[in-house]
Chain A
Amino acid sequence: MTEEILRMRGITKRFPGVLALSGVDLGVKRATIHALVGENGAGKSTLMKILSGVYAYGDFEGEIEFDGEPAQFKNIRDSEAAGVVIIHQELALVGELSIAENIFLGNEQKNRGVISWDRTNTEAARLMRQVGLHDNPATLVEKIGVGKQQLVEIAKALSKNVKLLILDEPTAALNDTDSENLLELLRTLRDEGVTSIIISHKLGEVLAVADRITVLRDGQSIETLDTEADAVTEDRLIKSMVGRDLEHLFPPHEPKIGEVFFEVKDWTVHHPEQRDRVIVNGASLNVARGEIVGLAGLMGAGRTEFAMSLFGRSWGSNISGTALMDGKPLRLRNVPEAIDAGLAYATEDRKHYGLHLEYDLRENFTLPGLGKLSKRGVVDQDGINTVSERLRKEFGVKAPSVYQLAGNLSGGNQQKIVLGKWVFTEPELLILDEPTRGIDVGAKYEIYELIQKLVDQGKGVLMISSELPELLGMCDRIYAMSAGHITGQVDRENATQEELMRLMTLETASGGEELRQ
C-alpha cells in the first residue's frame, strides 16, 4: 500500500493546433479529498478525462500510476474496472427508470442472463442507505430532486467498488442543504477509505471539504496546497488561479446615466406546466439609459424565468404585470413583438438557445434582424455579407471569415456573436443572461468592454449573473432576487458580496415586506 493512490506525471495533451495540458503533475493521497481548481479552460476536465480513460492511453504524453501500478486505460470501462469512477456534472441517469435500475445500469444483477429484481432492489437499498438516500428503490429517478439524483450517481459508483471517485462540479445545481449533505457524504466515504477528486468553482466549499488542493492554470499545474499545513484562503487561491490581480478584471468605466426609460411593474409568472406554481412573484424594476443594472440571485430564484417571460413570453404561463418603455406600455405577446419593442435577450445557454452551431457567422448574426435586410420578404444577400463582416470586426470575433461555422469557435467568440446578433436589432434594452459563463478571463474582459460601449451609446443593460464579483465590478445598480421576489436593490457604492448574499437568501415573505417599505 503506497501512500499515494494516484500519481500523474508530465501529462501533456494536444488537440489539433492546441496544447491543452502541458506537463501536468498530480499526486493524490489515499483516503483524502483532493480538490482541483482553476479557471474555465485551465484543463481540469481534460485532465480528468485522461484519468478516466475518455481520452485513451496513447492519445497523450506522460504516465499514470494508479493504486501502485502503471495504468493504461483505453476507455471508461478499463478505468472503472480499476476503480476510477467519474461523475459528470450532467448526470448520466435515465429519468424514466427507477433508482435501483439506474444504480445497476450497465452492470445488471443477473442469474444466468436473467435479471434478478430481488437482488437488484435489495442491493440498491443497501447502497442507498450508504449514501443516505431513504427513498424507495423503485422510485423513478425523474421524480426525485437533483440533490438526490447526485446521490444515486454516487451509489452507482459505489456499486462498482470505486476506489477513486471523481466529481465534476457536483454542487453546481444543488441548494445549500443538498450541497452540505453531499460534502458530508464525501467526508464519510473518505473515512471509509474512498478517495475523491472534486472539481469545483465554489472556493468556500473547496476549502471546507478538501484535504489538499491542486491549482491548474493555462494547462499547467501551478501548485498543490495542503489545507491543514498551509494557511490557505480564498484570496490566496484566486491569485494562484488567475495569476493576476483582481483589480484588472474589469475595464475602467465612467458611467453616463440618463433617465429611467424602462420599467416593469408587478411582473408575475407561473410555471408553464404546473400552472399554480408561482415562479416570479410581483417583480418590479427599472433601468435608466446608459445604466448597467444587475440582477443577482441563487439558482432557482427566477431570474432567467423573469427575463424570458418578459422577452415575448418565451417562458411560463399566466403572465401578468406591465412593462413600460418611456412611459408607454409595451405589447410583448411573442418574441417578434418584443424585438420590435426594442428588447433583446441574450440567453445563458449559448449552444442550445443562442446560436445555430451548424450555421456560419452570417446566418447567426443576421437571424433576428433579418427583417432589416429584406424587402417584401426577399433577403438582400450582399447586405447580409456586408453586415456580417462589419459585426465580425466590430465585435472582434476571432474567426478567419464570416463563413466559419459558429460551432467551431470558442465560447468567448460565440458569446460575441450572440451579442452581435442582438446589437444588430438595435435594441433599447439588452438583457444579458450570464454573459460570461464558461468564458476565459481574456474574453471576459472584451465582453465587458463591449457591454460598456453599448450603454455609452445610451442603451440600457440588464445583466443577470451568478458571479457576484462580476456584478459588483460591472453594474451601476444591482437588484437581488430570492424565490421569485425582488428582495431589494443596492447601488454601486453600497454593494458588497455580503449584502447581496443577504438579500438573495431572504425568506420570501419578509422579502416582499422589505421591498414594499
Chain B
Amino acid sequence: MSTVQTTPRPSLISALKNINLRSYGMIIALVLIMLLFQVLNVTLQNENFITPLNLTNVILQNSYILILAVGMMLVIVNGHIDLSVGSVLAFCGAMSAIALSHWDWPWYTAVLFAIALGALIGVWQAFWIAYVRIPAFIVTLAGMLIFRGLTLKVLDAETIGTTGTFNELASGYAFLGVDLRLPTLVVGVLGAALYVFFQVRSRRRQVKAGIAGRSQLAWLAQVVAVAAVIVAAAYVFYSYKGLPIIGWILLGLVLLYTFIANRTVFGRHVYAGGGNEKAALLSGVKTKKTTFWVFVNMGALSGLAGVIVTARLHAATPGAGNAFELDAIAASFIGGASVTGGVGTIIGAVIGGLVMGVLRQGMQVLGIATDTVQIILGLVVLAAVLFDVWNKKRATGGGGLMPPIVGTTPGGSGDAKSKGKQTEESSEETKAGAK
C-alpha cells in the first residue's frame, strides 16, 4: 500500500479532492444557495438577491438562532440535546424586560441579569443531566414546560415593552454613539490579514515538524478563499450601514467559542466525552463536570438570546422563542454535527444557521408561502444528516446500513499485510467487547 504515502500530484483537481467535504461542504453549499437565489431573483423578478440589505437582514433576523446554535453545537458534540432553549430564552427575555421596565434597572444590568439567570437555569438542568444521569432529552423536555410556564406566570399573559439602548442591541448600527460602518471594513481587512498570518505560521510549523497534512496547493486555495470571503463580507456590510451591533456580538461569540472548542482543555474534553465517553473517562476526563458546564453555558447563551429577541421585538411576549430549540438543533445538524456526538464545529453551527436563514429569506423574497418554506427546510435538515451519514461511510469505507467494517478502509494502514488481518480481528474484538 505504498500508494498511501505518495504525495498528490500538484493539480487543481487533486487539490480540490483533498478538501475535507465535512468542513467545507457547508460553506460551499451556503455560497451555492445564495447564487441560486440570485439567479432566480434576477430571472423571475429582475432584482438582485445578494444585496447588502438582504444580507444584513439575514443576520438581524437569525441572530438569536445563531447564538443558540453555538451553544447547541457544544451540547450535541458532547452527546446530548437541549429542548428547553426556546422556553429558557422566553423566560430570561421576560425577566430582563421586567428588570428594565418595572424595576428601572440600567440596560447592561438587565442584560447581565438575563445571562446570569440563564446560567442558573443551566445549573439546574445540568445537575440532573450530568450528575443524576437523567437523559438530557427528558430533563430539557421538562425544562421546556417549566420555563414556558414560568414565562406565562411572570408576564401574566401580557407584553412588556422595552425602550432605549437595550433595543439597539438587536438592530442598532451605532454603539454608544460610535458609528460602526468604517470599523466594519477596517476590522474585516485586518481580520483577513491576521487569518492569513496565523495560517502561514501554523503551516510553517507543521512543515517543520514534518506533518503538513495537505498539499501546499489545497492549503493555499483554502487560505485565499477564506480571506477573500472575510473581506467580501466586510465590504458588503460596509456598503449598507456597517455590521450591526448584534453582528459584532456574534462575531465575538464565534471567535471565543471556536477558541474554547479547539484550543482549551475544556473544549477538547467536550469532544472526547461526546466521541467515546467510556474511553474519555478512562483517560482522566471528568466527563460529568464537562457536561455540567456545557449545559450551564447553554443556559447562559439562551439568556443572551432572550435579551436579543426581546430587544428585537421591543417587548417581551409570552410566546417568544417558540420552537427556537428546533431551529438551533437543525442548524447544528446542517452545520455538520454528528448524530452520535463527538463531531461538529462552532463555525459549522453558524453556517448551518445561515443556510436556514438564507433559505428563509430567499424564499420569502421570491414570495413562496411559509408552509412550503417549512417543508423545504425539513428536507434540507434530512439531506444534511444523510450527507453526514454518507460522508462518514466514505471516510470509514463501510457499506450498507451495517456499522462500517474498519478493516476494509482503503489507505488505512501503510502495511497491507497487517490490514488484511484487520477484518477478522475487528469483528472478533467487537464481540469481545460485548460480553
Contact = CB atoms under 8 A, between A and B. Distances in A.
B434 interface: yes
Contacts of A438: 425, 428-429, 432
Contact of B422 (A350, A404, A411): A411
Interface string A96-124: 00000000000000000000000000000
Nearest to B407: A15
Nearest to A362: B211
A374 B283 CA distance: 16
A400 B5 contact: yes
Interface in B377-424: 395-397, 406-424
B364 interface: no
B381 to A, nearest CB: 22
A410 B418 contact: yes
A293 B403 CA distance: 38
B283 A368 contact: yes
Given A334-B286, A403-B213, A404-B412, A367 B420 contact: no
Interface string A278-322: 000000000000000000000000000000000110100000000
Contacts of A410: 407, 412-413, 415, 418-419, 421-422, 425
B268 A370 contact: yes
B433 interface: yes
A370 B290 CA distance: 15
Given A17-B419, A90-B431, A353 B282 contact: yes
Contacts, number: 221
B276 interface: yes
Contact of A401 (B211, B264, B407): B211
A96 to B, nearest CB: 16
Contacts of B342: 356, 358-359
B280 interface: yes
A377 B264 contact: yes
B206 A374 contact: no
Interface stretch (A60-68, A186-194, A379-387, A490-498): A379-387
A349 B432 contact: yes
B-side binding surface: helix, strand, loop or mixed? helix
Nearest to B406: A407
Interface in A469-494: none
Chain B: number of interface residues, binned into ranges: 35 or more
A16 B408 contact: yes
B9 interface: no
B275 interface: yes
Contact of A40 (B3, B264, B269, B425): B425
Given A314-B282, A358-B275, A41 B411 contact: no
A18 interface: yes
A385 B276 contact: no
B338 to A, nearest CB: 8
B205 A398 contact: no
A357 B276 contact: yes
A439 B425 contact: yes
A42 B422 CA distance: 10
Most buried by B among A146, A371, A404, A443: A404
Contacts of B339: none
B251 interface: no
Contacts of B263: 378-379, 381
Interface of B: 1, 3-5, 202, 205-206, 209-211, 213, 262-269, 271-272, 275-276, 278-286, 338, 342-343, 395-397, 406-435
List the 10 shortest-distance A-B pairs measured between CB atoms, nearest first: A41-B421, A408-B412, A90-B431, A89-B431, A16-B410, A18-B420, A45-B424, A368-B283, A410-B418, A410-B422
Given A381-B262, A401-B211, 9 more contacts: A41-B422, A42-B424, A45-B423, A169-B431, A359-B271, A403-B211, A405-B396, A410-B418, A412-B418
